[in-house]
């Protein structure tokens, strides 16, 4: 959905850099190929059970080495003093056992290019793009390195000990001060004269499909010290490793990966990146340049998609908004068109409401005309109601939900500014936790004249002493520090 005022859609797409329209949070995986299905089912019956047993044994061995290495250390000692001597050897053996876990999990073809720099030369390693927890194998090839992990990971059975042996920096996303504490701990480690291992970070902070390197968070670059960029790639015909916001679920991808004959992985250790003075003084610039450096080495674009987009998508999933994975692209398109304030869409709601199944679907040419964009070369139809729903939602982010509710009253109206019971539920279901039965009850209370339609003022009076009002008075935005619904490997802010 790439548009630009007074030009055709198709010609605009050809002129906009790929980074402007690639969507890193969508994965389309063909699960219907007959041959692939037969091969997968056969591998499930004959190979998967053996692989799971061998992976489990290697995981237990890794846990045993980690437990031995941590034996006798207090939690304070684990976090404040780098382990040494025989304990460090246990950590290295843990890394070897983890490599075997991956080997038995179909990762037989791991190709390493370049050399991992020493901690003194590059105290921080930054890895991208971030596909999924499979990327954690890079930790084993870096010494192993220290990771930045969610605090809850320490409580995981077996895995918790394996993470602990790396002496991680734990992050608690529910804590509003976590970002500052994490940065402080990273700086404390990297400037320390003690023999700490390198800190490995996935600075994107979320997973993608690997078609682009998304925006880097600046936490790893705040110290202004040299970093070693590591570019990873899974050169497989079918991508079964990306855990994206729109695509197959994690169980399906795990199943497809563990039943593949081979899963290839390239780990490219790039030359150490030494920041210039401007980059040392500007962590965001430093992060941007390293992001572009990794992207260029892989021949893919860097994109301004980032973790905040994922928070917004998570919020959109929770409230049932359509096309959540395209929210960034739709928002960018609307900025190009000068529609960010939502006034044009509000005018269109006023002009074309009420919408029915007969008038809601318009051709792309008509859709473009309504937005004052010339588009004579595209064919197809679009649900104009769904576009307006998304546009009104995006234009009211950060404002009370009641503001959006008032606009949705017009979008789902049956008569001019009057809404029926079905339309009321379509409007309120995105903004408040209400069942259809509860919504019908609200409608009946508001429809005092029993006309079958109500105005916004009638609705507002009815909910004056109702719990729905409290929800509608909240801001239309993701909850602070809400964790996304996907899992992710070590990361930082």
Contacts of 450 (CB under 8 A, 6+ apart): none
Architecture field, domain 21-304: 3-Layer(aba) Sandwich (3.40)
Closest CA to 485 of 207, 113, 162, 187: 207
Reduced to 3 states, what is the DSSP secondary structure of residue 264? strand
Q: How far from chain centre, in Å, is Cα 1?
A: 20
Q: What is the sign, positive or negative, of the torsion defined by CA atoms of 62, 64, 69, 71?
A: positive
Size of the chain, expressed as the number of residues it contains: 493
- Could you list the pLDDT tens digit for every one of the 493 residues in the chain? 433 333 333 333 333 344 445 788 888 877 677 888 888 899 999 999 999 999 999 999 999 999 999 999 888 888 888 888 999 999 999 999 999 999 999 999 899 999 999 988 999 999 999 999 899 999 988 878 888 877 777 778 888 899 999 988 887 766 667 777 787 888 888 888 888 889 999 999 889 999 999 999 888 898 899 999 999 999 998 899 998 888 888 899 999 999 999 999 999 999 999 999 999 999 999 999 999 999 999 999 988 888 788 888 888 888 888 888 888 888 888 887 888 888 888 888 888 888 887 888 888 888 888 887 765 556 678 888 888 999 999 999 999 999 999 999 989 988 877 899 999 999 899 898 888 998 998 899 999 888 899 999 999 888 887 888 888 889 888 875 444 444 333 444 4
Contact by Cβ (8 Å): 424, 454:
yes
63-95 burial: b if 16+ Cβ within 10 Å, else e: bbbbbbbbeeeeeeebeeebbeeebbebbebbb
Extents of the domains making up the chain:
21-304, 309-476
Q: Report pTM.
A: 0.75
Q: Distance (Å, rounded) from C-alpha 357 to C-alpha 303?
A: 37
Exposed/middle/buried for 323, CB within 10 Å: 0-12, 13-18, 19+?
middle
Q: Distance (Å, rounded) from C-alpha 403 to C-alpha 406?
A: 5
């Amino acid at each position: 959905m790439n548009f630009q005022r007074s030009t055709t859609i198709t010609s605009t797409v050809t002129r906009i850099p790929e980074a402007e329209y690639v969507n890193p949070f969508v994965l389309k995986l063909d699960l219907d190929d007959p041959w692939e299905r037969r091969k997968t089912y056969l591998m499930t019956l004959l190979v998967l059970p053996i692989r799971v047993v061998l992976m489990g044994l290697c995981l237990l061995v890794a846990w045993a080495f980690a437990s031995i290495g941590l034996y006798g250390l207090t939690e304070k000692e684990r976090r404040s003093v780098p382990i040494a001597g025989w304990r460090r050897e246990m950590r290295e053996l843990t890394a070897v056992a983890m490599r075997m876990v991956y080997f038995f999990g179909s990762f037989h073809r791991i190709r390493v290019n370049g050399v991992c720099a020493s901690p003194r030369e590059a105290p921080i390693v930054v890895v991208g793009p971030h596909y999924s927890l499979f990327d954690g194998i890079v930790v084993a090839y870096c010494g192993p390195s220290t990771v930045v992990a969610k605090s809850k990971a320490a409580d995981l059975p077996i895995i918790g000990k394996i993470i602990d042996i790396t002496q991680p920096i734990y992050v608690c996303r529910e804590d509003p001060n976590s970002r500052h504490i994490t940065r402080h701990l990273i700086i404390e480690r990297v400037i320390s004269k003690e023999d700490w291992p390198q800190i490995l970070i996935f600075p994107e902070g979320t997973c993608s499909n690997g078609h682009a390197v998304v925006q880097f968070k600046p936490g790893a670059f705040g110290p202004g010290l040299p970093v070693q960029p590591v570019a990873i790639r899974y050169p497989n015909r079918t991508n079964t490793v990306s855990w994206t916001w729109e695509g197959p679920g994690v169980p399906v991808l795990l199943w497809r990966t563990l039943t593949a004959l081979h899963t290839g992985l390239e780990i490219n250790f790039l030359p150490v990146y030494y920041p210039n003075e401007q980059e040392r003084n500007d962590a965001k610039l430093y992060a941007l340049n390293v992001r572009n450096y990794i992207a260029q080495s892989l021949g893919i674009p860097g994109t301004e998609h980032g973790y905040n987009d994922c928070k917004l998508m998570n919020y959109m999933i929770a409230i049932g908004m359509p096309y959540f994975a395209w929210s960034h692209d739709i928002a960018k398109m609307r900025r190009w068109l000068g529609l960010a304030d939502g006034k044009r869409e509000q005018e269109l709601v006023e002009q074309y409401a009420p919408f029915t199944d007969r008038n809601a679907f318009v051709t792309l040419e008509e859709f473009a005309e309504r937005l004052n964009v010339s588009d004579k070369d595209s064919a197809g139809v679009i649900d104009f109601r769904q576009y307006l729903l998304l546009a009104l939602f995006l234009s009211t982010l950060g404002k009370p939900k009641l503001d959006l509710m008032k606009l949705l009253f017009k979008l789902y109206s049956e008569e001019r500014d009057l809404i029926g019971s079905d339309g009321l539920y379509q409007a309120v279901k995105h903004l408040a936790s209400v069942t259809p039965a509860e919504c019908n009850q609200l409608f009946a209370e508001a429809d005092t004249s029993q006309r079958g339609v109500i105005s916004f003022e009638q609705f507002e009076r009815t909910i004056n002493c109702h719990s729905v009002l409290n929800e509608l008075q909240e801001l239309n935005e993701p909850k602070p520090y809400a964790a996304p619904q996907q899992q992710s490997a070590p990361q930082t802010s």
